[in-house]
């Protein structure tokens, strides 16, 4: 029988219970901070998620690799499937130093349970009220996405994504800073961007979901807390 996330790390379930303060919650998605020796990789979201700003510029989302957990699918199985679909490569989840819980884009708490044999400690939990899936999940007042560090086992490709952004490790905080445009990011040394179609240089990159949580973590100087354990 496979070990589940919360069986391996019960302290994480306890923290979610405490954050939700008696309200029901569901783990609905899994994502990964995918990286290799040179870069971290992010999704540029699909056109259906874009919006036009009042000044005429386009705003596109910047997210992590991952997606919704399907019925009867375990967390690590979902991550493997999503990575194959989105970037055409296998990934190896690795343990973080601590799990950071980002609650309603405001509150950040860290949990660092002891290592669990065979099950990596996630890096992030993105936790917020159920605003968009009330019809599908009426029993869940709070939704959570779990995020792992994951090392690429082969070079990433543009699978079913619109775009893929590769960011040198040292530039993560800079690229995730608010108000970054595509042109500014493209001008940074070592950044790689691949898209299905061209985007204007003044296109605004807006971190969403996991990337938004990572942006908050970076702004608070906590990126080192979720780096891989030695």
Nearest Cα neighbor of 125 from 2, 14, 39 is: 14
**Three-state DSSP class for 214?**
helix
CA dist., res. 140 & res. 188, Å (int):
42
Structural domain of residue 15, as residue ranges?
Answer: 5-225
205 is a domain residue: yes
The structural domain count of the chain equals 1
Residue 158 DSSP symbol = -
The residue ranges of DSSP E strands in 95-197, in sequence order, are 99-103, 107-111, 124-129, 142-152, 163-168, 192-195
Distance CA 139, CA 135 (A): 9
Task: Give the model's pLDDT for residue 1.
Answer: 35
How far from 119 is each of 5, 10, 67, 103, CA to CA, in Å?
7, 12, 20, 24
Assign 82 to helix, strand or coil.
helix
Tell me if 81 is assigned to some domain: yes
- Note the pLDDT of residue 72: 85
Whole-angstrom distance, CA of residue 22 vs CA of residue 121: 24
- pTM for this model (two decimals): 0.94
Does 11 map to a domain? yes
- Assigned domain for 86 exists: yes
pLDDT tens digit string along 126-177? 999 998 788 888 999 999 999 999 999 999 999 999 999 999 999 999 999 9
CATH number at residue 185: 3.90.79.10
Residue 230 lies in a domain: no
pLDDT in tens, 140-153: 999 999 999 999 99
């Amino acid at each position: 029988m496979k070990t589940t996330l919360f069986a391996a790390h019960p302290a994480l379930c306890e923290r979610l219970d405490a954050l939700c303060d008696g309200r029901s919650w569901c783990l609905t998605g899994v994502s990964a901070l995918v990286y290799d020796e040179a870069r971290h990789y992010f999704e540029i979201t699909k056109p259906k998620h874009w919006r036009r700003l009042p000044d005429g510029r386009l705003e596109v989302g910047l997210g992590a690799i991952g997606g919704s957990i399907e019925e009867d699918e375990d967390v690590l199985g979902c991550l493997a499937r999503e990575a194959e679909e989105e970037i055409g490569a296998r990934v190896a989840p690795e343990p973080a130093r601590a799990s950071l819980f980002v609650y309603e884009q405001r509150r950040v708490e860290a949990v660092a349970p002891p290592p669990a044999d065979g099950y990596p400690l996630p890096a992030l939990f993105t936790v917020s009220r159920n605003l968009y899936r009330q019809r599908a999940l009426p029993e869940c007042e709070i939704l959570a996405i779990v995020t792992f560090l994951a090392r690429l086992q082969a070079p990433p490709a543009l699978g079913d994504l619109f775009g893929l952004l590769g960011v040198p490790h040292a530039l993560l905080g800079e690229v995730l800073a608010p108000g970054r445009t595509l042109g500014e990011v493209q001008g940074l040394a070592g950044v790689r961007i691949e898209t299905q179609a061209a985007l204007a240089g003044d296109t605004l990159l807006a971190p969403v979901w996991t990337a938004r949580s990572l942006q908050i973590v970076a702004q608070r100087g906590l990126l080192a807390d979720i780096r891989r354990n030695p």
